[in-house]
Structure formats: structure tokens, C-alpha cells
Chains A and B, each alone.
Chain A
Amino acid sequence: MPKVTFPRMGESWRTFKMLMNDLGNEVVIPPRPNKRTLDYGVRYAPEFACLPLKILMGTYVETCLEGAELIVTSGGSGPCRAGLYGQLHKKILNSIGFPVDIIVFEAPKSHPVDFLRKVNRLNTSRLSYRAIWECIKRGWEKLKYLDDAEKLTHVVRPRELEKGSTTRVYRRVLDWIDTAYTMKEIKEAGEAALEAIRSVPQDPGRNVLKVGIVGEIYVLLEPASNLEIEETLGNLGVEVRRSMFLTGWTRDNTVKETREILTVKDAAAPYIPLCIGGHGQESVGHTVIFAKEGYDGVIQLAPFTCIPEIVARTILNRVSRVHNIPVLTFFLDEQTGKAGMSTRLEAFVDLMRRKKGHAGNLRAQTEAG
């Protein structure tokens, strides 16, 4: 049985673990990115590589030390660097003495044969295609509940009565979803998990700010890489809406583009008419939409030297002015510290509160006058 591992992106590893096990592979669970991961990453990855490449490099080294023989990851058609990660990682890992192989899944739409060949290679226990399809469907269901649970915590956390209670409940219910196996179990566990998060004691009258988060997919989805920005914001009394979840992204990139992403592209069209790779265009489009929906601010997360996000950031200056919405950008790298980030977030939240209060006062004055 080959020992398989994969990149870690938030809580999605629970799904991939199940899927790989079902196909008959032993799984080395990728550890949560930590200091050691980053140390390995910085040591072996190129100096100017973006943070996701470094974190993944570190994760692979850690899992290889635990005996992983095969890495499964996703590719891409560029022009973002992420499309070439797999090839580069393999070369680096081989050069430092890990004889691992790497399977890079390209979009099934454009490479259908290649996709099936790679599925077959992972299919150690020789399941039929129908059985694999069943496994994927269960995995998909699990992924959806994991995403929904996370989404719900973003709404509940700023309103919780006792600080930290949402996070505590969330950590607990993740295990419920994790241990569920059949379709029925997954649905039950998922619903129970959502109910548990919903029933965290809350203050419905609290005045919360609403902030949209846009940016590059990896630093959005992996809390360890963005220093748990959503939790920090939640504790500051800010409701967060993230522009991207793994389920949504997968839908847009495997089957066909959903309505949602098409409206985002339309919104971005006046500023940036074609796809520049990565999530540059989406970042701009989502910001426009957040502004139109009356959000109080937008936070852009990007890895240092991320090409598409640099283009987006340059354009967001204008978007911010035209649509009158504050935008704060974090370029994250291995040097980013949590205290520095918290300070900037606090200042940003104060700014938004004052802006909102000011607008409220004006309205009150005009109504009174």
C-alpha cells in the first residue's frame, strides 16, 4: 500500500483522508503548518517563492520524513505560479534525497484522459468507476458540511456572549463530521454540527461590522497561513464573509462556471477585462460586489510577491475610491507576526466603526433637520 499525502488547506484534509483511504491508500496526514514547517519551507524553497509554495514545501518535507511516498496535488493552467508547484516540488524533494513521486491533477475538463489515468494510479484497491464515483460523492458531501460549518462560525463568532465559545464548539463538531462515514452519517453529523454552532449563546442586538475577505486561495483557506485572521476579526466583533471556499472553487473549475463567478467577472470587467491568472480578477470583482452589498470594508490577503494580487492591489486603489469602501491589504510571508497584524486590524476596525457612526450621525441629523 503506498503511503499517500496531499497539501493541507484548512479542514479539507478530513475529506481527502477519507477519499484516499477508500481508494485503498495509506494516508500520512499533513500536519498543521507550524514553525517547523516554515523553517523547512524557507530552507528548501526558492527565496522569492510565494508563501504557499514555501508552506507546501515544508509540509511535504515533514510528511516525507514520516514516510510518505506519493504526493497528490492539483495543477493549473497558469499564468499563476501555482500551476507549476508540483513539478518544482518534485525536483526539489528529489534533489534533497526524498525519492517521492507526485501526482498532479489537472482540470478534468481539459485533460480528461490524463485525469482518469491518474485516478487509476491512485486506485490501489481496484474499485470500479461507479464505486469511485460514490466515494467522491460522499467526500463532496463532507466537504460541503465542513465549508458550511466554517461559514457559520464567521457569522456566529462576532455575536457570541462568551468569548471563545464558538471556536470551542467548532473544534468539537469537526470531529463529528470527521468520524462520519456513510452518506447518512455524514448528513446527520453535518446537520448536528451546524445546529450546535447555531446554538452557541449569542447577543442578537449587537452592532457588528461586516467585512469581506478577498485574495489568493491558499492564504484564504489555510488559517495557519493567514494567522487566523477570521478568528481575530470575529473576536473584534466583525462578521466576515470570505469570497472563496473549496467547494465553490472546485465547482467553478471542474464542471462549469456558476452564476456566481460569472457575476464576479462582470463586476470586475470595467477594471480588469481578462483573467490574469490566480485570483486577481476575482479579488477585484468581489470587492466591487461587497461594496454594492453595503459591506463596511474589504480585506485583501495575498502572499508576498504574488503576481496576480499585485495587479489587483494596484487596481483596488481605484475601486476603493470609486465605490467608497476601505480596503486593507496584507502581503503575508514567513516574517508576518500576529501582533503586528492584530494592531493593523484593530486600527482598521476602528476606522470602519467611525466611518459607519459618522454616516449614521449624518443620517440622523438630516432626518431631524
Chain B
Amino acid sequence: MTARVGIPSSLFYYVHFPMWQTFFSELGIEVVTSGQTTKGLLDEGVKEALADACVPIKLFFGHVIALKDKVDYLFIPRVVCLNRKTIYCPKFLGLPDMIRHGLSGMPPIIDVEMDNRQGWTSLWKSYLKIGRIFGRGKMKIFMAYLKARSVARRFHSLLLAGMHPPEAITALAKGANVPLPGEKKKGDLVFAVLGYPYEVHDQFISVGLVKKLKKMGVSVITMENLPPKKIARANMLEKKMFWTFSDLALNAAYYLFREGKVDGIIHLTAFGCGPDSMVDKLMELASRDYPDIPYMSVTIDEHTGDAGISTRLEAFLDMVKRKKEALQSTCPR
């Protein structure tokens, strides 16, 4: 019987799932995910997790609880650093410990540390350790690792071409090269929705924010669609943000403000998110220097209502449209 490994469909899922899935299936291990977030899942998480934790963590608890009886192992690696510069939020660093000691009746947790500041082979070593747990040979693990890396590269090129992670994940799963989302119509508004992938792309917790915007005829770009090197150069802080996702989101905001190619920027943040309390303020301060691009921050939590978000989005859209019209009607001298 093949071993089954559970990967919760939250947090790193939106960034690393294609790579991890390829790695495991190449080793002949079945991968089980917890699927889309549902109300029940969230409720379970809220019940078990600490009240003061942020929504994504509560949600992660929910996903783990949904998985725990279906799998032999839970895959919650301790991802410390993947770009040799920035690390992840303390909650990510302590994630396996929180799950292990905060929940009872857990299957064994694979919490291999991934930190590529320890040398350029360290990532490979982490994957080797994972493969060894299942008693696979070194060569086989290496081939699986290479395959996983190439899938990760394809995933990234799909994202850069304008796909959102959930679309890219299904596209990769289907294998075929799915045609890219339709060309942008002229006159369409473009909004940037900045925020962490596990908030923006989780249909349930973001109350379908991206979908709603698309329905209103707005094309949406997220921080995964922007070229990472250009974003990194846009940094305007004396000291880098410590956290990878926050660094990305903030630099993306700086980049977009400076380029001026979008019609509005929406920052999606979770209630009680530590890094975001700073990111949001810094974005707000930056937005004052670029009055041409409207900026709005939307906070979500486990009680966020559908109607409330819709109203705010409509109001924001109306404001942007009216501003555009006003700018066009004043005669250019």
C-alpha cells in the first residue's frame, strides 16, 4: 500500500503545491489535499486554534483537522528561507510546533527544515531527508527533486503570464497548455489586489474578492503576476522587510505606484496579521505620494460578510470610474 501524505490546502499551498505534489508522486507516494475552504472547515479551526491567532492560521488548523484521519503523514515543512534574503513570519517558523502541540491525535508530521542560507545544496538536502523518510533511494529522490524543480519553474512562468495560482495549479494538473486568460479589452480597468497568496486566492476567506472584481469587469493582477526582480528593485525602505510575503507585497505596491499602470490598488489583509500592520501603514503612507492611483485596504476575518465586501468594492470602483471621467472631461490644454 502506498503511503499517503496530506498537504493542507492553505498557506504554502498556493506557492509550492505543484512542486511538492510532483516530488511526492514521482516517489510513488499518494498526495491528499484538504480541498477548498468551507465554512465547516473554518469553524473547526476557529474552535481549536488560539483566539488571538490570525485567520490564516485558524484556517490552517481547520485544514489540518480535515486531513488528519485520512493520511499517514502530514507534510508541514518548516520553511525558513528560500531566497537567501528574507525569512517567513514567526507563525510559519513555528507552524509544525503549533500543530503538534496545539492539536491532539495527529499523524506523524514531516517538519523538515528548509533554509537555503545554509549553503546552495541545503534545499536538496531537505528534500533528500523527506525522501529518506519513505525509504527511497538517493538517485530516485534526486530525479524526483529535479522533476519537481522543473514543474516549479513552469508554474512560475504561468504565473508571470498572468494566471492566478489556483488556475495555474489546475492547468498544470491537466498537463495540457491551457490557453491564457483572454486578452485585456481596451478601456478595461486594471486593479492590483495585493496580499498574501493564501488570503487573496482562497475563495472562501477572501469572500471571492477577485471573482467579484472580475464580474464587475475589472481585470485583476496579483503580486505573483509581477516580475520578481523588478519588484525587488522598487524597494524604498532603509531596511528590508524581514518577511518574504510582506516584502513582496510592499515592493509590489511601490512598483505599481511608480509605474502607474494600474487604476487602483487594493490591499487585502487579515485581522490580527502582525506583519501586515506595518505593511498596510507603509502602503498608505506611500499612496499619499501618488494621488493618481486610488488605494484601499480591506480587512478580512472569520466573520467577514459577503454584502459588506461587495458594497465596498462597488463604491471603490465607482470612485475610480468617476475620477477617470473627470480627468478625461477636463480639456487637456
Contact = CB atoms under 8 A, between A and B. Distances in A.
A and B are partners in one complex rather than unrelated chains: yes
Interface of A: 45-50, 53, 75, 77-81, 83-84, 87-88, 91-92, 95, 104, 271-274, 276-278, 280, 304-308, 310-315, 317-319, 331
Contacts of B87: 78-79
Contact of B50 (A83, A278, A314): A314
B271 interface: yes
Given A46-B281, A307-B274, 4 more contacts: A75-B239, A271-B97, A276-B94, A307-B91
Interface string B203-240: 00000000000000000000000000000000001110
Contact of B278 (A88, A273, A278): A88
Contact of A92 (B89, B93, B285): B285
20 contacts: A48-B271, A48-B273, A79-B90, A81-B274, A81-B277, A83-B242, A92-B285, A271-B97, A274-B113, A276-B94, A277-B93, A304-B52, A305-B52, A305-B277, A314-B94, A315-B94, A315-B98, A315-B101, A315-B102, A318-B101
Contacts of A79: 87-90, 93, 242-243
Given A87-B238, A274-B78, A304-B52, A314 B278 contact: no
A54 to B, nearest CB: 10
Contact of A84 (B89, B90, B91, B242): B242
A274 B274 CA distance: 20
Contacts of A271: 97, 101
B118 to A, nearest CB: 12
A310 B102 contact: no
B interface residue count range (under 10 / 10 to 19 / 20 to 34 / 35 or more): 35 or more
A81 B276 CA distance: 10
B273 A84 contact: no
Contacts of B93: 79, 274, 276-277, 311
A95 to B, nearest CB: 6
Contacts of A278: 90
Interface of B: 49-50, 52-54, 57, 78, 80, 87-91, 93-94, 97-98, 101-102, 113, 237-239, 241-243, 271-278, 280-282, 285, 288
B97 A49 contact: no
Contacts of A304: 52
Nearest to B61: A314
A272 B102 CA distance: 12
A95 B94 contact: no
Nearest to A94: B285
A79 B78 CA distance: 15
Contacts of B53: 310, 314
Nearest to A319: B101
B279 to A, nearest CB: 9
Contacts of A46: 277-278, 280-281
A84 B241 contact: yes
B276 A48 contact: yes
Contact of B242 (A45, A47, A78): A78
A310 B273 CA distance: 11
For B54, B93, B272, B288, which residue has the most chain A Cβ atoms within 10 angstroms?
A: B93
A97 B280 CA distance: 20
A331 B239 contact: no
B90 A50 contact: no
Contact of B94 (A75, A87, A311): A311
B85 to A, nearest CB: 11
Contact of B237 (A87, A272, A274, A277): A87
B285 A81 contact: no
Contact of A95 (B50, B241, B288): B288
A49 B102 contact: no
Given A310-B53, A314-B50, A276 B90 contact: yes
Contacts of B57: 310
A310 B91 contact: yes
A186 to B, nearest CB: 35
For A77, A88, A272, A307, which residue has the most chain B Cβ atoms within 10 angstroms?
A: A307
Contacts of A273: 97
A95 B285 contact: yes
Contacts of A91: 281-282, 285
A173 B101 CA distance: 45
Contacts of A77: 242
Ranked nearest first, the 9 interchain pairs of A and B with the lowest CB-CB distance are: A78-B242, A311-B94, A318-B101, A48-B277, A307-B274, A46-B281, A276-B90, A314-B102, A307-B90
B274 A305 contact: yes
B33 to A, nearest CB: 24
A219 to B, nearest CB: 14
A233 B249 CA distance: 44
A88 B282 contact: yes
B95 to A, nearest CB: 8
A220 to B, nearest CB: 18
Given A87-B239, A274-B80, A305-B272, A310 B52 contact: yes
A289 to B, nearest CB: 18
Contact of A48 (B98, B272, B285, B288): B272
For A84, A274, A280, A317, which residue has the most chain B Cβ atoms within 10 angstroms?
A: A84
A84 to B, nearest CB: 6
A276 B92 CA distance: 9
Contacts of A81: 274-275, 277-278
B97 A80 contact: no
For B52, B87, B243, which residue has the most chain A Cβ atoms within 10 angstroms?
A: B52
For A88, A274, A310, which residue has the most chain B Cβ atoms within 10 angstroms?
A: A310
A75 B239 CA distance: 10
Nearest to B102: A314
B101 A317 contact: yes
A317 B113 CA distance: 24
A347 to B, nearest CB: 19
B50 A313 contact: yes
A46 to B, nearest CB: 4
Given A49-B277, A50-B274, A88-B278, A315 B97 contact: yes
Contacts of B238: 87
Nearest to B88: A79
A311 B90 contact: yes
A304 B52 CA distance: 7
B288 A84 contact: no
